[in-house]
A and B are shown apart, each in its own frame.
Chain A
């Protein structure tokens, strides 16, 4: 570390030679090969059969949810959806390495982490249909989940804002003596925002026990990663900020699990942040508002489809003798039914009452909001048929 106040013997050079590359290429941690077979030198973390199956279920469930909801959006049942497809390995396995006390701050494509934490099909649907049972009271677009009980911070659409917040949250965890960390997810596109740089530097300087997990999935909407940055990915930046850094094959759930476990251990033991760059691919369209055929080829997508993280995990389970084809199929069809039923149930639930419109703006609605609500209610009474809303009746 360079400190100008202590001019200890610095490393000298006498040639004008700009350093154009980092000190060395950053390797990518890989544990399972594409056939799910552990690499010879890989030191696999301890993982029980139960947990391995639970990870598989969470990945498959995430995919089923995504498929269900993309179809629902096409049918006009929800306005918007955004899928995690292709990134389930990176998300579920990293979440599986956390403890329930750990806070998760997500960007928006990390529903797999919520699945892991136990968010139910019905809870997903209540949010997606903006009904009054959604803990966010139907105020946010579909997929902006949040659940205090599961330590999953409510998602905010403005990108990268959660990164410095994660530093602060983790600092607070440290001060209150909790053996807990904050796991902060974001995309490689979001890492171009000022908040990324501010957040990482703050976390490093203030020694915050946070894991910054970048999903480098190749695209930010239509913008390919090579138009996003020129350096060696996102990992090289962690090193620049003096943060311990890992680059991991994001489609290798075992590597993601091992990396996150280790990162958590270090973050708590040494009270410091860690950066993980998960190399993966956004197989889905950016969202249901997007059509990737305008900016990437089917051939490219096919290459990544063949690196499916969910299948790789299934192969691994098979090799361990932990995969029961029939049981899995039965579970899967049960899940499909559960999802469909949850959707049917949630979509007929009314939205929050009109009075909720002024709630949560302040701790207690001030006079001017109460007045505006009264005016609105009088307006609705004057025009009872003009507004087609499934609002929960007042006092219900």
Chain B
């Protein structure tokens, strides 16, 4: 075990994957010699050479298209998009190519080995072009997996699973936790299962679901609720597509209440999918409407960032409202 922050855990996962399999290649804007603008790919070029870790020209559509080609040839590309906000030029390559390569060729060709990493989310005074949480655009795309870790241990284990997954994975990293989240991380290789949620804390009155950086927020709200005698079950979804309906449904069947928290705008956010599925599965167990504490339906603000955030206070108030419904 070693103490690592989330960035170091990502870096460690990449190094582990590159050591284990020479087909793993890491590339993107500024990821080579410099090690990425956040330093997630530090020293990888030094260790593995310029053919395996390199800078690309500044073109996201090029990066993902190139990665699609490499993946279909049998390599394991790990492509970095510098900020999730800049993934949109690559949208066509992801939605129409990465996701459909296997389906359209009847399984002859595929991009299953591809992993796309991108820092996402707010809390860094980044305004609307350095703070977006675009996960739900991708959860609408059959054929790709969407994975988001909440801390260093999850980052390493989930990223290694993503790289070794036979399906393409979009791996969003909560950048406001890059240096803030620190924890024990095994130095050896390990994988955490994709598609599986983790129950962080058991409770009886309400289930709280979040992913990535917002997990810390619902934990804080659960602590506040505990002081008021409300027992929260806290779930980190970890994988958004496919997601762990069973774990969430089992929890809600027990608690009778559900609150979903995400930073992305509420409308058509992934919370809507969870709410719809849970009311289908747990209708007779529900004691209150499913609550969503999310970003506003506006672009991500700058001066009003703190007001926009679905923070612990908003979450706590919603917990109380749910329990008193």
Contacting pair A368 B267 (CB below 8 A): yes
Contacting pair A368 B297 (CB below 8 A): yes
Bound-state CA distance A388–B59 (Å) is 39
Stretch from A97-105, A246-254, A320-328, A372-380 contacting the other chain: A372-380
Q: Which residues of B contact A157 (CB under 8 A)?
A: 85, 127, 129-130
Partner of A140, one of B32, B34, B128: B128
Q: A129-178: which residues lie under 8 A (CB-CB) from chain B?
A: 130-131, 137-141, 144, 156-159
Who on chain B is nearest to A353 by CB? B304
Min CB gap B26→A, angstroms? 15
Contacting pair A190 B58 (CB below 8 A): yes
Partner of A139, one of B33, B267, B301: B301
Q: Which residues of B contact A79 (CB under 8 A)?
A: 125
Contacting pair B29 A223 (CB below 8 A): yes
B313: interface (CB < 8 Å):
yes
Given A144-B127, A189-B58, A193-B89, A354-B302 contact (CB < 8 Å): no
B20: interface (CB < 8 Å):
no
Given A220-B58, A294-B34, A351-B303, A372-B296 contact (CB < 8 Å): yes
Given A140-B128, A389-B307, A193-B298 contact (CB < 8 Å): no
Contacting pair B59 A193 (CB below 8 A): yes
B102: interface (CB < 8 Å):
no
Contacting pair B129 A130 (CB below 8 A): no
Contacting pair B57 A141 (CB below 8 A): no
Contacting pair B29 A158 (CB below 8 A): no
B200: interface (CB < 8 Å):
no
A227: interface (CB < 8 Å):
yes
Contacting pair B298 A361 (CB below 8 A): yes
Bound-state CA distance A357–B307 (Å) is 9
Q: A350-380: which residues lie under 8 A (CB-CB) from chain B?
A: 351-352, 354, 356-358, 361, 368-369, 372-373, 376, 379-380
A4: interface (CB < 8 Å):
no
Contact with A along B140-183 (1 / 0, CB 8 A): 00000000000000000000000000000000000000000000
Q: Tell me the count of chain A residues lying within 8 A, CB to CB, of chain B.
A: 52
Interface of B: prevailing SS: loop
Q: Which residues of A contact B127 (CB under 8 A)?
A: 139-141, 144, 157
Bound-state CA distance A352–B298 (Å) is 15
Contacting pair A228 B57 (CB below 8 A): yes
Interface size, B (range): 35 or more
Contacting pair A138 B302 (CB below 8 A): yes
Contacting pair B58 A192 (CB below 8 A): yes
Who on chain B is nearest to A294 by CB? B34
Bound-state CA distance A380–B304 (Å) is 12
Q: Which residues of A contact B58 (CB under 8 A)?
A: 159, 189-190, 192-193, 220, 223, 228
Contacting pair B29 A221 (CB below 8 A): yes
Contacting pair B302 A130 (CB below 8 A): yes
Bound-state CA distance A391–B304 (Å) is 9
Who on chain B is nearest to A197 by CB? B59
Who on chain B is nearest to A378 by CB? B317
A159, A290, A391, most chain B CB atoms within 10 A: A159
Q: A70-86: which residues lie under 8 A (CB-CB) from chain B?
A: 79-80
B211: interface (CB < 8 Å):
no
Min CB gap B286→A, angstroms? 22
Contacting pair A192 B57 (CB below 8 A): yes
Bound-state CA distance A94–B81 (Å) is 33
B314: interface (CB < 8 Å):
yes
Partner of A194, one of B61, B307, B308: B61
Given A156-B129, A289-B37, A380-B307, A357-B55 contact (CB < 8 Å): no
Contacting pair A158 B86 (CB below 8 A): yes
Contacting pair A158 B307 (CB below 8 A): no
Who on chain B is nearest to A359 by CB? B298
A51: interface (CB < 8 Å):
no
Bound-state CA distance A221–B61 (Å) is 19
Q: Which residues of B contact A130 (CB under 8 A)?
A: 302-303
Bound-state CA distance A228–B56 (Å) is 7
Contacting pair A357 B317 (CB below 8 A): no
Min CB gap B118→A, angstroms? 14
B69: interface (CB < 8 Å):
no
* Chain A residues within CB distance 8 Å of chain B: 79-80, 130-131, 137-141, 144, 156-159, 189-190, 192-195, 220-223, 227-229, 289-290, 294-295, 351-352, 354, 356-358, 361, 368-369, 372-373, 376, 379-380, 382-383, 386-389, 391
What are 5 pairs between A and B in contact, CB < 8 Å? A141-B127, A157-B130, A193-B59, A357-B301, A388-B306
* Chain B residues within CB distance 8 Å of chain A: 29-30, 32-34, 37, 55, 57-62, 85-86, 88-89, 125-130, 266-267, 296-299, 301-304, 306-308, 313-314, 317
Give 9 nearest A-B pairs by CB, closest first. Answer: A138-B303, A222-B34, A157-B129, A192-B57, A351-B303, A189-B58, A192-B58, A141-B127, A79-B125
